[in-house]
């Protein structure tokens, strides 16, 4: 599925929120916007791991939810942090909040 974040009606971000609320295993590819390089993309798995971590799940919980090994989740998180220029979970959560992918 391809989503336009500015599509009419509910909008792309709301559609993503609903998709993840319905199926935590759902995957998406996100384009980084704002002050980041728009050409920089997260893979589907990286995005899924990023969202689950931003929602407060542990690495072990993410691994179980996405049917991945703990080391694979760790590798995805390492790449996500590199691509987004972050160093910790708090910064990742802030980015997810800023993108409107999670709510407080």
Cβ contacts of 36-39, under 8 Å, gap ≥ 24: 36/84, 36/85
Contact between 53 and 77 under an 8 Å Cβ cutoff? The reply is yes
Other CB atoms within a 10 A radius of the CB of residue 34 amount to 8
User: What would the two tokens of residue 11 be?
Assistant: 């909008």
* pLDDT mean across residues, the chain: 78
pLDDT in tens, 87-100: 888 888 888 888 78
Going by C-alpha positions, the residue among 29, 81, 18, 14 that lies closest to residue 53 is: 81
Which residues are within 8 A (CB) of 103 and not within 5 positions of it... i.e. 6 or more apart?
17, 97
pLDDT in tens, 38-60: 235 678 888 889 889 988 999 99
């Amino acid at each position: 599925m391809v989503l336009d974040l500015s599509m009419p009606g509910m909008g792309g971000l709301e559609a993503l929120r609903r998709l993840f609320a319905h199926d935590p295993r759902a995957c998406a590819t996100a384009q980084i916007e704002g002050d980041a390089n728009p050409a920089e993309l997260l893979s589907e798995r990286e995005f899924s791991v990023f969202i689950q971590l931003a929602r407060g799940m542990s690495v072990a919980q993410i691994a179980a939810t996405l049917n991945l090994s703990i080391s694979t989740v760790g590798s995805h998180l390492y790449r996500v942090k590199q691509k987004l220029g972050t160093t910790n979970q708090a910064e990742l959560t802030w980015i997810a909040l800023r993108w409107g992918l999670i709510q407080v």
